Amino acid sequence: MNDKYNPFFDTFSLRSGVQLKNRIVMAPMTNFSSNEDGTVTDSELKYYARRSSGVGMVITACTFVTPNGKGFPGEFAGDSDEMIPSLQRLAATIKEQGAKAVLQIFHAGRMAPETLVPNGDVVSASAIAAEKEGSILPRALTEQEIEAIIHDFGETTRRAIEAGYDGVEIHGANGYLIQQFFSPHSNRREDRWGGSLEKRMAFPLAVVEEVKRVVKEHAKQPFVVGYRFSPEEVETPGIDLDDTLKLVDALAEQNLDYIHVSLMDFWSNPRRRGVDDSKTRIEWIQERVGQRVPVMGVGSIHTADDAMKAMQTGVPLIALGRELIIEPDWVKKVADGRESEIKTTLTKDDQERLVIPDPLWQAIIHTPGWFPVV
């Protein structure tokens, strides 16, 4: 192995006591490939097995915590105890390859397609539609329903513990329900769940507290709790980086194992209001809280040199998403000194070789610009 890549292979001890064998993580990515009843398919298990042997940790695609939280066709379920055997199969598949298995838990909120939720009853913090074509007007959740969803995040965490996962990642990013409560665009409430920035933080922090409470009560061994967030929104009003720095300050006080910055490009600059663009978003976040909580970065990291440059920001954990779909042997190739052989593009003949389930493959091939297909 080329010595300059040694830092990838340093072990990393998370606050919970879980130790990662290296600093490379498989990012959570929806694959649209579960069964109609919400159970994990054999093709998904093969897909995860193919990508779990090199990385230190695998964060799964998101699983919904309540029936009205389903965000995608072919998404696997975590909303009832009947799903524990399915969740268990996925955890075991990942762990057999030597990686830690972390279940991403979420609620889609207003981003849920009405065809996927019971009675088409799409809900959010407020009755404000998303600013994208075809968005429907969601119903504002009642206080009682909010409390119930917080409880459901805890219940899905309990199921993750019972299913043998090493942790959960709370999905507070990408415009889904937790972010909808934090956002001034989607949260226009005037009760304890909305209004000021502090009140818009109430739901995200309540979910964190409930997940931690369940872990303390049910986990018999160290169990990871991470939190993923998107640093900015395009909408006006919307989350800006200054808002996010206040959120990560609050998250840094929660004894989390890591915070995960959801970016399409690791090196992206702040979009607007709040802070200047003399530093990238992730550099602002690392500078603000990196000494208090480990930061995980992601986004358009392809080569070993890309990952090395990202680590030089001080961020200790690097997540690879699309790149691990393109190159499942990324970690092994770096370890073997074959980093020059890492593939960064796909061809239309690669599905079988890369063990990619049909629904995900169709999405890759038919979504121009998402993956580099040559």
Question: Mapping DSSP to helix (H, G, I), strand (E, B) and coil, where does residue 230 land?
Answer: coil
Token digits of residue 155: 């219940």
Q: Is the pLDDT of residue 272 over 70?
A: no
Determine whether domain 3-365 maps to CATH 3.20.20.70: yes
Distance CA 50, CA 354 (A): 8
Provide the pLDDT for residue 273.
Answer: 63
Annotated catalytic residue: which of 47, 176, 227, 258?
176
Question: Mapping DSSP to helix (H, G, I), strand (E, B) and coil, where does residue 52 land?
Answer: coil
Q: Is 47 annotated in the active site?
A: no
The predicted-structure confidence for 81-139, as pLDDT tens digits, reads as follows 999 999 999 999 999 999 999 999 999 999 999 999 999 999 999 999 999 998 999 99
H-run or E-run covering 19: strand 19-20
The predicted-structure confidence for 35-90, as pLDDT tens digits, reads as follows 999 999 999 999 999 999 999 999 999 999 999 999 999 999 999 999 999 999 99
Provide the pLDDT for residue 276.
Answer: 75
Q: What is the pTM of this model?
A: 0.98
Region label for 346, one of left (φ > 0), alpha (ψ between -120 and 50) or beta (otherwise): beta
Query: Residue 313 in contact with residue 297, Cβ under 8 Å?
Result: yes
Provide the pLDDT for residue 277.
Answer: 75
Provide the pLDDT for residue 271.
Answer: 80
Question: Mapping DSSP to helix (H, G, I), strand (E, B) and coil, where does residue 64 land?
Answer: strand
Distance CA 96, CA 291 (A): 33
Distance CA 280, CA 348 (A): 34
The predicted-structure confidence for 318-335, as pLDDT tens digits, reads as follows 999 999 999 999 999 999
H-run or E-run covering 309: helix 304-311
Distance CA 187, CA 193 (A): 8
The position carrying tokens 């998403």 is: 321
The predicted-structure confidence for 334-354, as pLDDT tens digits, reads as follows 999 999 999 999 999 999 999
Q: Is the pLDDT of residue 275 over 90?
A: no
